Structure 1
Amino acid sequence: MSAEPTVVVTANVETGCLDVLAGHARIVINDGVDPWPRERLIEHCREATAVIAFMPDTVDDAFLRACPSLRIVAGALKGYDNFDDAACSRHGVWLTVVPDLLSAPTADLAIGLMLGLSRHMIVGDRLIRGGGYQSWRPILYGKGLQGSHVGILGFGNVGREIARRLTGFGATVTYADDAPVPKETEEALGVQASGFDQVLTQSDFLVLALPLTERTVRVIDRAVLDRVKPGCLLINPARGSLVDEPAVADALSDGRLGGYAADVFACEDLAQNDRPAGIEPRLLADRERTVFTPHLGSAVTTVRHEIVAEAALNVLDVLQGRAPRGAVNRPFPAQETAG
C-alpha cells in the first residue's frame, strides 16, 4: 500500500473543488457521467483512506468490510439515507455530510416547480414548439400564488428557505412539523404553524420538505390523498419515497389532485428495499398535470463547487487528525481530535 493516502471521488467534479487536498493525498476521480458499478467502486476504494461520495452511492456493512483502510466517507450531500451511519461507526469510519449548502438552491427549484406546474409552463412550451400558437387565446388558465394557501410539510432548513422565497408572492403560508419553531422565526417568515390535517385540507399547494426516515416513507399515501383539498397541487423537491407514486397517479386520474411536480423519485432511494425499478409510468404519461426535473435541487454550478469543497475539508480534517466538521457519527473506537 502506498504511504500517501488515497482519496476516491465517486463523481466527475472540477478538480478546483479539491484544491484543499493538494499535497495531502493522491486523488482518484470518476471521470465519467455515470456512477461506478458497485464492484468497480469497491475496487477503487479497497485501499483508500477516504471517499467523497454522492447520492447514487450506497455505503453499508459489506462495502466497509471490503474497504478496511477507509477512515472517512465524506458525503457531498445533505440527506444520507443511503449511508449506514451505524455501520460506519462500527468500522471506525467517520460519516460526514454538508448540511447547509443544499437548502437554498433546493428552495429555488421548489418555487420553480410550483410556478411551472400552476401556470402550465411546460404545456405552453409544447404548444409553441408544436406550431399551434398564433396569438393569445383564452386557454391554459392556471392557479397563481397570490392569494393561494401554501402548506409546507417539514420546516427545517429547506422548508424555511421555501417560506422565505414565498414572502413576496402574497400567499398564506402554513407549515406542519414535529419540532418546535421559534416564534421570532415564524414572524420573520410570515408563516403560521398548523396541524398535519389542517395543512392537508387547506392547501392549494402542498410542498414536501421532509427528510426520508422510517416515519416519513410514503407519508403521502392513498389515505392522505383522500384528505387533501380538491385540486391541490403537490410539490416534491425532497425525496421520492415520501410519496406513494401509484397513489399519486390515481389521485391525478380521479381529480383529487390538480397536479404533481417533482424533482425526486422513489426509484432513486437505494436504501428502500421495495423501491420501484423506475418512475410510475402513468405519471410519465400524464403530460398535462405533471412537471418533472432530473434531481436538479442543488444543480447550481457555484453551489456544487462549494458542496464538494466542503466535503474535501471534512476529508482534510481526518487526514490531519481532527474530528471532521460535518460528522453525523462518532466512530468506535473514537478517532480523537488532535491538539
Structure 2
Amino acid sequence: MTSNFIDYVKINCRSGHGGAGSRHFRREKHVPLGGPDGGDGGRGGHVILKGNAQLWTLLHLKYRKHVIAGDGAPGEAAHRTGSQGEDAVLEVPLGTVAKDPETGKTLLEITQDGQEVILVPGGRGGLGNDHFKTSTNQAPDYAQPGEPGQEAWVVLELKLLADVGLVGFPNAGKSTLLSVLSAARPKIADYPFTTLQPNLGVVAYRDDQSFVVADIPGIIEGAAEGRGLGIRFLRHIERNAILLFLIPADSPDIAAEYRILLGELEKYNPEMLDKARVLAVSKSDMLDDELREEMEAELPEGVPALFISSVAQQGLTPLKDLLWQTLHSKRVTLS
C-alpha cells in the first residue's frame, strides 16, 4: 500500500519570459510626427511557494514534475504595459524547505499560513521605445526585448512543525502514547516499525490550551548513517522545541538506550543537543515500588524523567504538566 505521507519531491520549475517592449509611434490625424509611445512588456510569471496550514503532506506534488509559469505580454501603443504572466503558485504544508538539489543549500522555508515566497522569479519585461527618447534622438526605433525566464530543479522537503517530538527505538510505545494523549489514531501493533510515517496529535491541556506532539518512526542504532527507517525521518525532529525520549521499563539498560538515541541525533545534527529533553519510562505499570526505586537510581542524569503507562493511564497528567512547563519556559527563553 502506498503511503499518502510524502515528505520529499523534486520538481522542475520554469518561470515566464518577460514581454518585449513596444516600438510604436503615435500616429493620429493632425499629428503626423507623433513621438514614440511604445509601452513596456509585462513581467513573466513567478514560481511561488505558498504556505497552507491545511496541508500536511507533499503528496499533491508527487506526480507534478514540471511547473511552468506564464509569459508576460508585449507592450502596446499609447504607453500601455503588457499584462503580466500568470504566476505558478504551489501550496505547501508549513515546514516545507526548498533546496538546491546539487549543493543541498537551503533556498527558502515556509513556516506561516499564507506566507508567499518567490522560488523562481519571472523575467522582467522589456522597456518600450519611449524610454530611449533623447534630445538628439527624438524617434528611437528600438525597444528592449523581455528577459528570459529561469529554469531550475528544486527539492522540496517537509519538516513537521510540532512542539514535542517523540524519540525512541521501534516498539517503545510512542504511537500508543500519542493515541492516549491526543485524538490521533496511528497504527499500533506489537512489532517493530509499526509506524512508517510521522503522525501528529494535538494534546489538550488546561484552560483550553494545547500543544502538538509528533510521533516519529523509530530510530535504530546507525540511523544517522542511513540504517533502517530513522534517517528518513530524523529531519522532522529538527523543528521540535522539546524531545520526549520514550524508553520502555523492560529495557535492559535505560541509560545506555538513552545515550544511543542521543548519539544518533547528535551525529545527524549536533544542534539537536541544544533542544530541551524529557525522558518518559513507558510500560511502567509492570513495576512495583521497590523495582521503580532501583531504576530511578540508574536513570541518566541531567534530564527530567517520569514513569508512565499509556495502557494503564498512569503518569500522563504529570507528563503533560512537565511538557507544558518545559515548552513554556523554552518559549520564554527564546523570546
Task: Answer whether TM exceeds 0.5 for this pair.
Answer: no
Q: Which has the larger radius of gyration?
A: 2
TM-score, with structure 1 as normaliser = 0.25
More helix by share: 1
